[in-house]
Amino acid sequence: MTASVSLLFGVHAHQPIGNFPDVVIDAHERCYKPFLQTLYRYPEFHFAIHFSGWLLDFLFEHYPQDMALLREMAARGQIELFGAGYTEPVLAAIPERDRVGQLRTFFSKLRKKLGQSPQGAWLTERVWESTVIPALTRCGIRYVIVDDYHFICAGKNKADLNGYFTTEEDYRTLDLFPISEALRYRLPFSPAPEAITYIESLIDQSTNGHQPAAIYFDDIEKFGIWPETYQWVYERGWLEQFIQGVLASPYIRLQRYRDYHASEKTRGIIYLPTTSYIEMNEWTLPAEPAHIYDDLVQQAKSTGQYERTRSFLRGGVWKNFFSRYPESNWMHKRMLSLSARYADLPTRQRTSAMQQCLYASQANDAYWHGLFGGLYLPHLRRTIYNNLIELEAQLDQCAPRNPCYREDTDLDGTEEIYLQNGTVQAILKLDCNASICELDSYPLKHNFGDTLTRQTEHYYRKIRLKAQDQSIHHQAGIASAHDRISFKHAISRTDLEPDPHAQRLFIDRLNGAPLNYQPQSSDKEGGKIIFQALTDSAPIRKCFQITGNQLLVIYEYHGKAGGCMQTEINLAMPSCDGPGGRYVRNHITLSGFGHTIELDDLAAITLEDDTLGGSLSLEITPAAKLHACPHFTVSQSEGGFEKIMQAIKLTFSWEVSNDPQHIALHFNKMHNSA
């Protein structure tokens, strides 16, 4: 009998909830559609596939003919469907009850739409924590796939990672398949014959009766969406060459994961550390530790020690994103709080609409940033807040909250005070700034405080070295996105300067110096809270009050206060520098949000936003001077370094007098909006 290696081939397809429709359509045209159509022509090529729930819904709605191919491939046994949380959450980052709910919701959809119940599960971003085992096993999952790097960090030899292993938690067992990093970096970037030769080389006749497996499971977007891959995979025929070569090889045995799992025995017990794929472990580190980690890795590679020492050169864990980015942590803790409120409702009061909002707010993309991830993308964070705010409004209908209360939501040691009346909500940090960290309009389902503070990133070092748009060229094949350095926008030194403070609303200075406020009193029934700052000349009182659809901020001066007062208001407007957002004064459009404007003696201005479906009107009494400009951050993606507008920075200035200064924000829904 000819010795062989089993090829377990799997792909994962995902688009973030809230992604632009044209992006998803382009992904389908350049990747999902040609991939499925190509594989459909080879019924004997067995493989596994996972579509995230939101993407699967989108494709069934817009591309039923292509989904019919997927359904037929499932019916004829060509494919094995893998499960996951419905909205693609990082399971380790959500409560146990929501893990089970997310998994069961998606499994029900797979049975209904494609007639298959999964035995295997895809772990979002391959984030592994043993705490997820009970939820997976309760939902009928028998095995998951994680990187071989996870096993190497547990002390395993790479040569032994050609089968599956078993782990347990709380006496619940789960089997683990190690994805080959060597295959992840070869498919589809190496020429097909070279990739096939490598798979054939994995035949091992000293496996004590075990059938060796070449284990591959990675993003399907590498097959058409990554730079150069559409031409390489489809126009130049890489995928068909690979399929035909695998089918023609006498040494490669194509199997579904479930068939291999049923016919083979475990390689033994293993306990994996908390980790993700190796690149993620770098991305989750702050800049300075990431520099050190990267230097150690490069040093190990230059001395030929990397493969021997890599399991000890670990970066951070995925949850570090919550401690690294306050904005991510705030969203996450707001989500956990609302999840608990939903769980505390009597069963009869819970609705499917509430559950949908909760699960959508748990989608992973907006909570992290690396080469991928969407924390830097305002439209993805906005989707999280849209669902959090809608869920909160629904929960308030069933279990009303106090109009004014305090808690430390984000566990940073500083309490927040919540002011809300069912129409507007202002959440203030009780620190010395007396500023707003979240400002919600419930009718608009929008958080106007959803900005991102610019902080130093590890990849700034590459930009500062003035790296040019040069791909690493191999003798054959194409370069992975991980190997590319390119620029989508021109980036200046100023663009890389970290912000001096969090980008909140109503950050005050007197004569250029920040004011130090202390809370004085609050009116729980009147929706009001008062702060006071002591200055060399006289105290300044700052009052926040919500009434109807309005937030009112009043500055009062007692004694002989004088000088120039400034307040900085950072506003998240959905259209940002797009064509749908504009400044309007006296019914005249001044400019788009992406431009800088200067206005003297401003008494009123309106910010209209088509994407928001509403507007924000500001009234200032007495009139003040306005400087408005866009606020940008610099991020990285598979397409290169880019500048993204996060917010509008409004700075109002006025001369201090005995008259109080009123700044009123009115939130209006457009009559013609949905």
From the candidates 125, 327, 390, 568, which is the catalytic residue? 125
Residue type for 563, please? G
Nearest CA to 617 out of 603, 626, 604, 628 is that of 604
Residue tagged 């998951």 (tokens)? 144
Spell out the alpha helix ranges (H) of 448-601: 460-464
| Coil/strand/helix, residue 440 | strand
Cα 288 to chain center, whole Å? Answer: 22
* Six token digits for residue 336: 């956990």
**Does the annotation mark 125 as catalytic?**
yes
In DSSP notation, 39-71 reads: HHT-TT--EEEEE-HHHHHHHHHH-HHHHHHHH
Q: Which backbone phi and psi does 574 adopt, to 5 degrees?
A: -55, -35
Burial of 472 (0-12, 13-18, 19+ CB in 10 A): exposed
Cα 173 to chain center, whole Å? Answer: 30
Question: How far apart, in Å, are the Cα atoms of 550 and each of 395, 422, 553, 612?
Answer: 22, 12, 10, 17
**Distance of alpha carbon 426 from alpha carbon 423, whole angstroms:** 10
DSSP letter at 372? S
Question: How far apart, in Å, are the Cα atoms of 171 and each of 133, 167, 174?
Answer: 10, 10, 10
Beta bridge partners of 599: 626
**Distance of alpha carbon 214 from alpha carbon 6, whole angstroms:** 6
Element (H, E) at 568: strand 564-571
- The total of other beta-carbon atoms located within 10 Å of residue 358's CB is 27
**Does the annotation mark 295 as catalytic?**
no
Burial of 664 (0-12, 13-18, 19+ CB in 10 A): middle
Tabulate helix, strand, coil % of the chain (nearest 5).
35, 30, 35
Question: Is 172 within 8 Å of 127 (Cβ atoms)?
Answer: no
Cα 321 to chain center, whole Å? Answer: 10
- The four Cα atoms 92, 97, 99, 103 give a dihedral, to 10 degrees, of 170
Nearest CA to 652 out of 509, 454, 441, 447 is that of 509
From the candidates 168, 219, 279, 577, which is the catalytic residue? 219
**Distance of alpha carbon 238 from alpha carbon 343, whole angstroms:** 49
Peptide bond into 95 cis (omega under 30): no
Sequence-ordered strand ranges (E) for 186-231:
213-219
Cα angle for residues 390, 16, 285 (degrees, 5° grid): 100
Which residues are catalytic, by number? Answer: 125, 219
